[in-house]
Amino acid sequence: MTAACGLARNFTHLLLARIGVGVGEATLTPSAYSMLSDYFDKPRLPRAMSFFACGIFIGAGLAMVLGGSVVSTVARTPFVDLPLLGVARSWQIVFIVVGLPGLALALWLSTLREPVRRDAGSVATGHQPAREGLRELTGYLGRYPWMFISLYVGAALYSIIAFGDSWYPELFIRTWGWTPRHAGGIIGAATLTAGPVGMIFAGWYSSRLITAGKVDACLWLMGLGALSITVPAIVLPLSPNPLMASALLVPFKFFQGFPPVLAPAAICMAAPNKLRGRLGALFPFSTGIVGVTFGPILPALVTDYVFRDPHALRYALALSMGLTGPVAFAVSWFGLRQYRQCYHSLADQAGGPPTAVQG
């Protein structure tokens, strides 16, 4: 479907192809979370999630680094004559070249074996076995409401700050007069380095804490991460020069890598085997609806309706992130107690110690 975007001849074709891309992408996260939960025991799961999630920053970083060059290339050669396909625009060629290797990847993924299910069994709702379907899912969500508010709403609020960085290229362009290529290169380099380091640290440290007996480590660390990312998110756009702003990209990207590791790991460790895929699917849904939407839109709204000045983007970013960060921290933490109750309840049902490392 990505390659099909390059074959689009009008808006309707492109819209349908992009919908197809979304349908394909939607299968990845819940399937991967469920499989990783069975491949790795609970103390090692956050570390496994961290390596899996690194793809987010690798892809985003390469897009930033190469984005400026792509824009320049497209501007120089707007049309390309392809055999059989006829004349295509340069942006269409990008979709085709990026999409077709996915067919080879699909063949390789087809060789993966389904892991042995850990802690398989019925979902306990009181003393009755759980029913299949939506009632089973909503029943489990209702059993631990504060925990799931912390996991989903807390991560969604955190993601507003994380996705606010979509304005950073424009921030460097408007505030300090940088070119798109220069801004993309610097931001992309920070994304490629500090982002994966933050993910690996979050996975390693939370796994270490869980092994030591702090079973709520993922949710606890996510709350601290929300508070920590708020500091560079406020100071970076207010920096007196681009050098300081560039340096602050490092801690921002470091803490930006926490939610894609910690929230899914926490959800999978608090979910019965039968519900991991469905509960895991709600994570990208909630962060997508809230973070992807309001992360870029909130600073724009503040710029247009509070400051009423396009050159006040830096102040709008600082204000938006400064208001969101403390709320994300508070929401992430008020479900800690219920999370511990859920974790130990599942461990008791499985008949083993909650932090026993296997293998």
What are the residue boundaries of the structural domains of the chain, listed by start?
Answer: 40-76+136-350
Within 8 A by CB and 6+ apart from 289, the residues are 156
Higher-pLDDT residue of 264, 71:
264
DSSP code per residue over 26-42? HTHHHHHHHHHHHHS-T
CA distances from 336 to 109, 270, 333, 340, 347 (A): 36, 12, 6, 6, 17
Tell whether pTM > 0.95: no
| Environment class of 84 (CB within 10 Å of its CB; exposed 0-12, middle 13-18, buried 19+) | exposed
* 89 bridge partner residues: 79
* Identity at 117, one-letter amino acid code: R
pLDDT tens profile 334-350: 999 999 999 999 887 76
Q: What per-residue confidence (pLDDT) applies to 179? A: 87
Average pLDDT over residues 124-150: 76
Q: What per-residue confidence (pLDDT) applies to 99? A: 85
Higher-pLDDT residue of 188, 324:
324
What whole-number percentage of the chain has pLDDT above 70?
A: 87
The tokens describing 207, both together, are: 């796994």
* Identity at 229, one-letter amino acid code: I
> 300 pLDDT exceeds 50?
yes
| Environment class of 129 (CB within 10 Å of its CB; exposed 0-12, middle 13-18, buried 19+) | exposed
Answer yes or no: are the C-beta atoms of 117 and 38 closer than 8 Å: yes
* SS3 at position 82: strand
Consecutive H or E run containing 152:
none
Pairwise CA distance, residues 17 & 180, whole Å: 28
Query: Taking the CA atoms of the chain, what radius of gyration do you get in angstroms?
Result: 22
Q: What per-residue confidence (pLDDT) applies to 85? A: 66
> 355 pLDDT exceeds 70?
no
Q: How many alpha carbons fall within 13 Å on the CB side of residue 220?
A: 14
The tokens describing 16, both together, are: 């349908």
Q: What per-residue confidence (pLDDT) applies to 113? A: 83
Q: What per-residue confidence (pLDDT) applies to 240? A: 95
pLDDT tens profile 67-107: 656 656 666 766 777 666 667 777 777 788 788 888 998 89
Within 8 A by CB and 6+ apart from 108, the residues are none
Pairwise CA distance, residues 298 & 59, whole Å: 24
Q: What per-residue confidence (pLDDT) applies to 227? A: 95
Residue with tokens 């793809």, as numbered in its chain: 55
Q: What per-residue confidence (pLDDT) applies to 132? A: 58
Give the CATH number of domain 40-76+136-350.
1.20.1250.20
Q: What per-residue confidence (pLDDT) applies to 8? A: 86
The confidence band for 262, taking pLDDT boundaries of 50, 70 and 90, is: very high
